[in-house]
A and B are shown apart, each in its own frame.
Chain A
Amino acid sequence: DAMVIQNPRYQVTQFGKPVTLSCSQTLNHNVMYWYQQKSSQAPKLLFHYYDKDFNNEADTPDNFQSRRPNTSFCFLDIRSPGLGDAAMYLCATSRGGQGKTQYFGPGTRLLVL
């Protein structure tokens, strides 16, 4: 029944060591989003894909990249994780447009040592 799946649920990486988080969906939605939530903060949008069109938020650091090889999968790549990148990373999907529900995965909690 899982609609938006994120793997792994917990990820430990070393300072500066590239890491990839993955997200898949069974909803066939056009739009996939990545959010970052740091401790006690609001989830913050990093970027989204509308089909293959990539849209970066203006304040998303260059260290964060994303790939969407097909409709079902989307990856978040952190090229050189710093201690400040430790956070919960949430993936979501929607049909796109205002007022459409976004469906979330359970998140990946990233720890940077």
Chain B
Amino acid sequence: ILNVEQSPQSLHVQEGDSTNFTCSFPSSNFYALHWYRWETAKSPEALFVMTLNGDEKKKGRISATLNTKEGYSYLYIKGSQPEDSATYLCALNYGGSQGNLIFGKGTKLSVKP
């Protein structure tokens, strides 16, 4: 059974702090890795899709790296703001038909002003 693990489960930081969290996955079944941000009462929003070992992607203050050989991805948020408070989900394309995703449980980030 393929498993995607995210850590930590939750994180509380002060405004202005930089933070990062981890997504681990079995490296033998890798096609692509997705990061989503899910704010309460909204739709999960796609942040990044990463496919190549060593990939680094950036969107504003958020960036992500990928290591497919060892099976992990890091998501970084620089200078966290209260509006960054959300659950960050990682999901793996494992080769199932039509790009089916296996999700982790997410990391819930709370940023205090």
B16 interface residue per 8 A CB criterion: no
Partner of A99, one of B44, B89, B99, B104: B99
A101 interface residue per 8 A CB criterion: yes
User: For residue B4, which residues in chain A have a CB less than 8 angstroms away from its CB?
Assistant: 42
Complexed CA–CA distance, A48 and B101 (Å)? 11
A112 interface residue per 8 A CB criterion: no
Partner of A40, one of B43, B89, B105: B105
Is the CB–CB distance between A44 and B34 below 8 Å? Answer: no
User: For residue B93, which residues in chain A have a CB less than 8 angstroms away from its CB?
Assistant: 98-99
B41-64 residues at the A interface, CB under 8 angstroms = 41-46, 49, 51
Where the two chains meet, the residues of A that have a C-beta atom closer than 8 Å to any C-beta of B are 4, 31, 33, 35, 40-45, 48, 50, 55, 90, 94, 96-107
Where the two chains meet, the residues of B that have a C-beta atom closer than 8 Å to any C-beta of A are 4, 31-32, 34, 36, 41-46, 49, 51, 89, 93, 95, 97-106
From known contacts A42-B104, A43-B103, infer whether A102 and B42 are also in contact, taking CB-CB under 8 Å. no
In the complex, how many residue pairs between chain A and chain B have their CB atoms under 8 Å apart?
Answer: 66
Complexed CA–CA distance, A8 and B72 (Å)? 37
Is the CB–CB distance between A99 and B31 below 8 Å? Answer: yes
From known contacts A98-B31, A99-B51, A99-B93, infer whether A55 and B98 are also in contact, taking CB-CB under 8 Å. yes
User: For residue B106, which residues in chain A have a CB less than 8 angstroms away from its CB?
Assistant: 42
From known contacts A43-B89, A98-B32, infer whether A103 and B46 are also in contact, taking CB-CB under 8 Å. yes
User: For residue A31, which residues in chain B have a CB less than 8 angstroms away from its CB?
Assistant: 98-99
Is the CB–CB distance between B44 and A104 below 8 Å? Answer: yes
Is the CB–CB distance between A94 and B97 below 8 Å? Answer: no
User: For residue B41, which residues in chain A have a CB less than 8 angstroms away from its CB?
Assistant: 106
Chain A residue with Cβ nearest B94:
A98
Is the CB–CB distance between B44 and A45 below 8 Å? Answer: no
User: For residue B32, which residues in chain A have a CB less than 8 angstroms away from its CB?
Assistant: 98-99
Partner of B98, one of A4, A44, A48, A107: A48
Is the CB–CB distance between A99 and B98 below 8 Å? Answer: no
